[in-house]
Amino acid sequence: MFNTLSGRFLVLTIIFVMLAEVLIFVPSVARFREDFLLSRLERAQIASLSLLADDMIDSDLEEELLRTAEVFNVVLRRDEMRQLVLSSPIPQPIEASFDLRDAGAGELIRDAMLRLFEPEEQVIRVIGAPVKEAGLLIEITMETGGLRRAMIDYGLNILWLSLVISVVTASLLFLAVRSFLVRPIKGVVGYMQAYAAAPEDARRIIQPSASVAELREAEEALQSLQTELTAALRQKEHLAQLGGAVAKVSHDLRNILTTAQLFTDRIEMSEDPSVQRMAPKLVNSITRAVNLCESTLAFGRAEEPPPRLAQVALAEIVSDVIEGERLAVGDEDVSYGEDIPAGLVLRADPEQLYRVLANLLRNARQAIAASGKPGELLVAGRETDDAWTITVMDTGPGLPLKAREHLFTPFQGGARKGGSGLGLAISAELIRGHGGKLTLLKSDESGTHFEIYLPKGDLT
């Protein structure tokens, strides 16, 4: 029980209530002692009135009056005259005197605690103001045994009362905590356990229902997390299925392309100038397709192979990509431009960099074509002391909001209807394999800008 939230709350409540009662106990006992002594002064004053009424009383009556007042003697000061009204033998010397007329709270508390923890019985002198202003002061001597016993009884009563109050208060708070906190928390834990058993089942996602604001916020955060995780698991399953399909297609397509590659060898022997001009590009394209089939798509089967870094002339790769896009253009009004310094050489995997640039330019060309307006594409390259940057810019209509929110997420970041969003996701992974980053710099109605950042690092 004590290792549960409600059990510990119960124990802490009892402790804190008892601590509060202890803080109340100290001034209460001091007040009780003051009232006790004042009552002795009042009884002594009443006893002395009999003598003031009749100056001559016998010793037995005087002894009875003192015994009733529980004091040894009574001194009154009236009209500046100090008068011993009642007296009897004092069994031991007076240990201390206490003047209640001007005593402060701190002094009363100190005297009360000293008396409570002093087991030896003593005789003390107590001075106070007479009731109804019947004189200037009244002074008595008395034993402390009765005072201490009364203080102990009073303290025990307070202790038992405090304990009862603590238990009752703690029990009520225990029930309240179980009802308003523990039970909803257990409900959340139950939802989490049920969801963990079958995270793909959307029916097991928690539905926020708590009335406590903090718990409801936790439920809403858990709901959001579970929703995202379920979507990610479904996507992962989709990718696994796609991987199996790609593996099969890749196997058969590789065989077909290998056969086509044999025919291109014969085409290269043609003396037709146009065939001689196009044949190398056809050979390169088929070679890239064969290599791609052998490694399979990144999100279809396994991770992309690590890049095989080499010194690459950026202008040559960009020229190949642009030439391929020009051949794919039908009646589209798209112009291409390059802004790459002559002789710019960077370190990258040429095949993977070609795929990245081809994905970016193809997406841009298709976006411009879908808008029905003429547009421009520009590829720019720059080199600094730390990195190489390649910027791909277009004057198309910009990416939709949904595409920007899930830009590099497969099956969610497609920029056009029917697109899977795999191109950008694959491109981002390929650039990460180089230690770099693919970033969307801008996308609005005036166009879209992507930047490829390739750090130089300390590799040679």
Look at residues 139, 169, 199 and tell me which one is the last residue of a structural domain: 169
115-152 tens-digit pLDDT: 888 888 899 999 988 877 666 788 889 999 889 999 99
409-448 tens-digit pLDDT: 765 545 554 445 667 888 888 999 899 999 999 998 889 9
Asked whether residue 188 is domain-assigned, the answer is: no
Asked whether residue 352 is domain-assigned, the answer is: yes
Mean local confidence (pLDDT), 18-35: 84
Tell whether pTM > 0.75: no
**Is 155's pLDDT higher than 60?**
yes
pLDDT the model gives residue 300? 47
Asked whether residue 276 is domain-assigned, the answer is: no
Yes or no: say if 394 and 373 are a contact pair by the CB < 8 Å rule.
Answer: no
Yes or no: say if 230 and 199 are a contact pair by the CB < 8 Å rule.
Answer: yes
Compute φ and ψ for 144, nearest 5 degrees: -95, -5
CA separation (Å) from 374 to 270, 323, 336, 378? 37, 18, 11, 14
Asked whether residue 216 is domain-assigned, the answer is: no
Look at residues 123, 145, 169 and tell me which one is the last residue of a structural domain: 169
Asked whether residue 261 is domain-assigned, the answer is: no
Look at residues 169, 192, 224 and tell me which one is the last residue of a structural domain: 169
Asked whether residue 185 is domain-assigned, the answer is: no
- Name the residue type at position 137: L
Asked whether residue 115 is domain-assigned, the answer is: yes
Structural domains of the chain, count = 2
What is the domain-level CATH number for residue 426?
3.30.565.10
Domain of 51 in residue numbering reads as: 5-169
| Same domain, residue pair 13 and 160 | yes
40-93 tens-digit pLDDT: 888 888 877 766 555 556 677 777 778 888 888 888 887 666 777 777 888 889
